[in-house]
Amino acid sequence: MKVLATYNIKGGVGKTATAVNLAYLAAEQGARTLVWDLDPQGAASFYFRVKPKVKGGSEALIRGRRAVDRAVKGTDYDNLDLLPADFSYRNMDLELGDTKKRTRRIDLLIQPLAKQYDYVFLDCPPSISLVSENVFRAANALVVPLIPTTLSLRTFAQLDRFLADNPGRKKQQILAFFSMVDNRKNLHRELVEKVSADRHDVLATRIPAASDIERMGIKRAPLPAFAPRSRSATAYRALWAEIQARL
């Protein structure tokens, strides 16, 4: 079982679309896949049309009163399950703070799923918090969408520093890639070229800023499910292939 977390300190960079689309593609290939929507806003749950509700909420999960796999819902797609968001996840930091092994809790909750799933995608809320520290412990790889703006790249540098200063964490890969790239904008082109030249660890695939990705919110489905041959879906396939090769 590989655990991948889509993460960025900054919000609105296409994290959830990435988690949902990559998970769909993994499942389409036949891998048994789970998405855990950790964001109290519940965007991933919304895309899958699953009610953002977990019985007993975040507290029941974190304290182990409700087994994680009993809260899982099958999506409309084969091999693809969702652990829904719950509004109570906004308090997850507090729940985690009250437990033993406070930075390993999520890892401990996920490990029993190893027999059931090949991939677990954690869709994380933005910010650096106890939840994100847990996610860093649990994940084999952090999938980090970067939008080609100065502020976004600045937060990527912050993330790098934070992870470097955190010697206790599990060694995981950072798989950053450019998202929402608009090739008509000079600034986007320049930033992408500059960063790609400086940092060879940034993945080669770029996800375009495209209206079909925005239509996921209208269709309430993963992009490759409703527009499998679109340019953006093709880009996500390339991204997934690149990530698999790195894992």
Contacts with another protein, residue ranges (CB under 8 A): 28-32, 48-51, 71-74, 76, 78-79, 81, 118, 220, 224-229
Distance in Å, CB of 196 to another protein, minimum: 27
Nearer to another protein (CB atom), residue 145 or residue 224: 224
Rounded to the nearest 5 degrees, what angle is found at the Cα of 150, between the Cα atoms of 149 and 154?
A: 120
Distance in Å, CB of 74 to another protein, minimum: 3
Contacts of residue 43, defined as CB under 8 A and 6 or more positions apart, other chains included, come to 16, 37, 85, 123
CB 80 within 8 A of CB 35: yes
Distance in Å, CB of 219 to another protein, minimum: 10
Nearer to another protein (CB atom), residue 189 or residue 215: 215
Q: Count CB-CB contacts under 10 A for residue 206.
A: 21
Cα–Cα distance for residue pair 181/159, rounded to 1 Å: 21
CB 192 within 8 A of CB 206: yes
* Dihedral angle sign, alpha carbons of residues 14, 17, 19, 25: negative
Nearer to another protein (CB atom), residue 77 or residue 162: 77
Nearer to another protein (CB atom), residue 51 or residue 63: 51
Distance in Å, CB of 16 to another protein, minimum: 17
Question: For residue 131, which amino acid is it?
Answer: V
For the record, the structure tokens of 147 come out as 């939008």
Q: H-helix or E-strand containing 223?
A: helix 223-226
Distance in Å, CB of 78 to another protein, minimum: 4
Distance in Å, CB of 237 to another protein, minimum: 9
**DSSP code of residue 15:** H
Nearer to another protein (CB atom), residue 34 or residue 130: 34
Nearer to another protein (CB atom), residue 78 or residue 190: 78
